[in-house]
Structure 1
Amino acid sequence: MKLRFLAGLSAFVAVAGLSACSSSSGSDGGDAAGGRTRIDVWLMRDSVSAAFQKDFVKGFEAAHPDIDVRVQIQEWDGIGGKITAALASNDAPDVIESGNTQVAQFAQSGGLTDLSGKVDDLGGKDWLKGLAEPGAYEGKQYGIPYYAANRVVIYRKDLFEKAGVDASAIKTRDQWVTATRKLNKGKQQGIYLPGQNWYTYAGFVWDEGGDLAEESGGKWQGSLDTPEAQRAMAFYKKLQALGKGPKDSDEAQPPQAEVMAKGEVAQVISTPGGANVVAQNNPELKDELGFFPIPGKTADTPGAVFTGGSDLVIPTVAKHQDEAYTFVKALTGDAWQKKLAVAMSYVPNRTTLASAVSADPGASAMAVGAAVGHATPNTPGWAAVEAKNPIKDYLTAVLTGGDPAGEAKKASEAITSAMNSGS
């Protein structure tokens, strides 16, 4: 799933340039001049910069002179239906970038090439779990991890120093709460955490050993009423109370980076790109923003995070299977993964490449969390849950005084109904 807050990274993405780099307006699967095989590739808006795309295509074609790459930039809005239609046609592109949690939906239709036999060749043993697992469906690997991004804590260095708080010493959730209480004075909010920030809550559930839903006997059921999820809710409520975040909206309403830019918020939980938005709204804070991984229950394990990002898939009906695989292998291989991570402040697709972003404070903080990242339940039915999102309603209900156990039971039943009915 694309993390919408990655839009904060677009400060250095030239949208017009992306469109200009798009080399084709159609996907006819034809051959290029001189006997070269042309492959059509769909990449998503703002996933890579125009400069990176140009460099990669140039480098790839130099290394594979028999292949001509035509990239078409797609919009995130409505992409699910567009990919579904392409997979059902006889005119699909050769490679498609898909949100990682969308892969199961497309694989269920039988429209994706099974790449299970290529996992070892692609370095799959080191893939990030949060990208690799949703790229698989019913024991087969269809999606190849492309890039990842996840949430970290963005904090005000000046406010931490004034309060005598050392961010580098915050390794556990208890230490985090203690520090946040010291920062929560007067008009200053120790943390701005909107009540419906359900991805953050999900991380606490995973920290406790639980999940948002569980499968048993081929049926999925919501699991917010388990002891693990209840402990996560108790911690979420404690943390949320250390600020003045709204209890009935998420991080986009109002945009939390804009709230932080007003100067009275010490911390937010966001992808690092959120810092760019804060600085755009308040340039005086540009050099005052730092990052650290969301703390875990114990100092030896960082907090679990939702891993957003993309996988690359090859449609079953793609006309150039071998060339498509060659493209996927190159873009997800060591050399270009390192360049992509540096260019876009992304987390590379493999844990062994984390050092590529060591000089980028935000991306390196992401990489720590990504190593223990998770995805939402890997089933096509999860899309129906997110459409209605009873988790948000559950969080608001508890934060406004509702009975945690009773509200969790209702939310779990709503999740179960949505997952199994697809509506």
Structure 2
Amino acid sequence: MRRRLLALVCVSATLLSGCGLVPGGGTERRTVTVWLMQHSASQEYLDRFTEEFEREHSGLDLDIRVQEWTGIGEKVQKALEEDAADGPDVIEVGNTQVATYAEGDGLLDLTLESMRDWGREEWLPGLAEPGRWGSQQYGIPWYAANRVVIYRKDLFREAGVTAPPKTHDEWLALTEKLHTGGNQGIYLAGQDWYTLAGFIWEEGGELATERDGVWRGALDSPAALRGMDFYRRLQALGDGPVDADEEHPPQAGVFAEGKVAQIIAVPGLASAILKQNPDLEDELGYFPVPGRTAGRPGAVFTGGSDLVVPANTDTEEGAIEVVAALTGARWNTELARTMNYVPNKAGLADSAAGEEGVAAMAAGAAQGRATPATPQWSAVEADNPIKQYMTKVLTGSDPATEARRAARRITEELAFD
């Protein structure tokens, strides 16, 4: 408690000199060790941030260490459990990983800090919601990425399509029109369950629901079944395999072959497409995944990163200052512009307005969601019953029956502790 009170005094009193963490602070220097993931930020960005942060926080030095995603979960867990002397004080984690780390009391509760002037009410829900565990905020949204529709402008023109669709009904009609003359209206793999999740959320359904601390699968709800039915109708307007996901084969390669009008993917996939087919340089377009009505884009799964502070840090006040700076408007906007990400707040989306793919992604991010905020969700994904359910439906099995079966399996996995 004494450390928490000290933290609140230090971060709120911008002219105090005793804390040694703010401009004009004391002479004692502390080092804040920050773990960021590979390719999350450019070295030029990190160099500029470090230089300016240290200049504005005369008592702090930054030690930014770039980590690889492979094996990071085990490495983070180890850091949260060991002595803090050589460990990180701030860690970038995937937004859906926060609950796993928070469950074992390994993270600092940042609820009070996030309520001061961090604009938490404006955070993208797909980053903010999985950053909470119980009623506490442990993960602070940093950046986001989500799926959009990547399309061939030339194939749209040939089909007489002059504008992207705004609703599910328009999207189906347009895709059917494009699915002719040897072209696929859309390439949608049968087990692209992240895309299905967005359709389920758009209909008002859930992958799983929680009541009194107990999680249950919810694929068998009427709303979730409507989402699966829309997926089935859209997927039929192309030749995507019903028994594989979007990486088997990689959909970038399928799209690059030149017979596909649309795919659903993050805008960054365009680089892989153009590497295989440079002739498409001027023919790629982007629009947000449509919703049920024209008033707003459809719900989508939001991936991205949150920043967390280990509970065992010995530089709590400095760690909080680093999180505040990286997630604040200035540096967050700069990161989004530099790396083609979506900023952590919808109000900052204008920073991406100059790039078509990122602008489409930012528009969809306002309706972003994340997987259920329970550490056991990783067990669901390990042997994913949602994928198996999708294949069963797409090959003619009764949707309601298969949905009940899949929901039971999700419930069983979420109950395991």
Residue 321 in structure 1 maps to residue 329 in structure 2:
no
The amino acid across from 1:70 in the alignment is D
Residue 88 in structure 1 maps to residue 81 in structure 2:
yes
TM-score in terms of structure 2 length: 0.91
Deviations along 1:231-268, one digit per CA (max 9) or x if unpaired, are 11111000000000011111111110111001001100
Deviations along 1:126-167, one digit per CA (max 9) or x if unpaired, are 000110010011100000000000000000011101111123
Q: Which residue of 1 is the match for residue 199 of structure 2?
A: 204
Residue 338 in structure 1 maps to residue 330 in structure 2:
no
8 A contact 1:167–1:292 mirrored in 2: no
- Quote the Cα distance in structure 1 between the aligned partners of 2:42 and 2:140: 20
Count, aligned residues: 388
- Quote the Cα distance in structure 2 between the aligned partners of 1:199 and 1:267: 17
Q: Secondary structure at the match of 2:368?
A: coil
Residue 109 in structure 1 maps to residue 95 in structure 2:
no
Q: Which residue of 2 is the match for residue 357 of structure 1?
A: 352
Residue 240 in structure 1 maps to residue 235 in structure 2:
yes
- Quote the Cα distance in structure 1 between the aligned partners of 2:102 and 2:264: 32
Residue 133 in structure 1 maps to residue 116 in structure 2:
no
Residue 180 in structure 1 maps to residue 182 in structure 2:
no
Residue 258 in structure 1 maps to residue 253 in structure 2:
yes
Q: Secondary structure at the match of 2:300?
A: coil
Q: Which runs of 5+ in 2 are unaligned?
A: 1-26
Q: Which residue of 2 is the match for residue 46 of structure 1?
A: 39
Q: Secondary structure at the match of 1:62?
A: helix
Q: Which residue of 1 is the match for residue 66 of structure 2?
A: 73
Offset at residue 186 of structure 1 (A): 2.7
Deviations along 1:31-55, one digit per CA (max 9) or x if unpaired, are xxx8421111110111112222222
- Quote the Cα distance in structure 1 between the aligned partners of 2:296 and 2:43: 37
The amino acid across from 1:256 in the alignment is Q
The amino acid across from 2:151 in the alignment is Y
- Higher mean alpha-carbon deviation, 370-379 vs 53-62, is at 53-62
- Quote the Cα distance in structure 2 between the aligned partners of 1:114 and 1:247: 43
- Quote the Cα distance in structure 2 between the aligned partners of 1:392 and 1:103: 24
Q: Which residue of 2 is the match for residue 397 of structure 1?
A: 392
- Quote the Cα distance in structure 2 between the aligned partners of 1:287 and 1:55: 33
TM-score in terms of structure 1 length: 0.90
| Higher-Rg member (1/2) | 2
Deviations along 1:297-356, one digit per CA (max 9) or x if unpaired, are 000021000010000000010110010011110000010111111101100001111111
Q: Secondary structure at the match of 1:242?
A: coil
Q: Secondary structure at the match of 1:185?
A: coil
The amino acid across from 1:300 in the alignment is G
Q: Which runs of 4+ in 1 moved over 4 A?
A: none
Q: Which residue of 2 is the match for residue 298 of structure 1?
A: 293
- Quote the Cα distance in structure 2 between the aligned partners of 1:95 and 1:107: 14
Deviations along 1:8-63, one digit per CA (max 9) or x if unpaired, are xxxxxxxxxxxxxxxxxxxxxxxxxx842111111011111222222222222222
- Quote the Cα distance in structure 2 between the aligned partners of 1:273 and 1:229: 29
- Higher mean alpha-carbon deviation, 305-314 vs 38-47, is at 38-47
The amino acid across from 2:308 in the alignment is V
Residues 416 and 77 of structure 1: CA distance in aligned 2, closer, same or farther (over 3 Å): same
Residue 57 in structure 1 maps to residue 50 in structure 2:
yes
Q: Which residue of 2 is the match for residue 274 of structure 1?
A: 269
Offset at residue 363 of structure 1 (A): 0.8
- Quote the Cα distance in structure 2 between the aligned partners of 1:346 and 1:39: 25
Percent identity over the alignment is 54
- Quote the Cα distance in structure 1 between the aligned partners of 2:382 and 2:157: 42
Task: Give the one of 343, 349, 362 matched to 1:367.
Answer: 362
- Quote the Cα distance in structure 2 between the aligned partners of 1:384 and 1:167: 41
Residue 157 in structure 1 maps to residue 153 in structure 2:
yes
The amino acid across from 2:83 in the alignment is N
- Quote the Cα distance in structure 2 between the aligned partners of 1:67 and 1:163: 60
* TM alignment of 1:18-33, pairs within 5 A: none
Q: Secondary structure at the match of 2:259?
A: coil
Q: Secondary structure at the match of 1:287?
A: coil
- Higher mean alpha-carbon deviation, 115-124 vs 282-291, is at 115-124
Offset at residue 406 of structure 1 (A): 1.0
Q: Which residue of 1 is the match for residue 16 of structure 2?
A: none
- Quote the Cα distance in structure 1 between the aligned partners of 2:118 and 2:225: 39
- Quote the Cα distance in structure 2 between the aligned partners of 1:57 and 1:166: 47
Deviations along 1:351-384, one digit per CA (max 9) or x if unpaired, are 1111111111111101111101111111111111
Q: Secondary structure at the match of 1:307?
A: strand
Offset at residue 212 of structure 1 (A): 0.1
Q: Which residue of 2 is the match for residue 25 of structure 1?
A: none
Q: Which residue of 2 is the match for residue 192 of structure 1?
A: 187
- Quote the Cα distance in structure 1 between the aligned partners of 2:237 and 2:375: 37
Offset at residue 71 of structure 1 (A): 1.1
- Quote the Cα distance in structure 2 between the aligned partners of 1:217 and 1:325: 32
- Quote the Cα distance in structure 2 between the aligned partners of 1:195 and 1:56: 43
- Quote the Cα distance in structure 2 between the aligned partners of 1:288 and 1:66: 52
The amino acid across from 1:383 in the alignment is S
Q: Which runs of 5+ in 1 are unaligned?
A: 1-33
Q: Secondary structure at the match of 1:59?
A: helix
- Quote the Cα distance in structure 1 between the aligned partners of 2:241 and 2:344: 35
Residue 382 in structure 1 maps to residue 377 in structure 2:
yes
8 A contact 1:107–1:137 mirrored in 2: yes
- Quote the Cα distance in structure 1 between the aligned partners of 2:256 and 2:37: 29
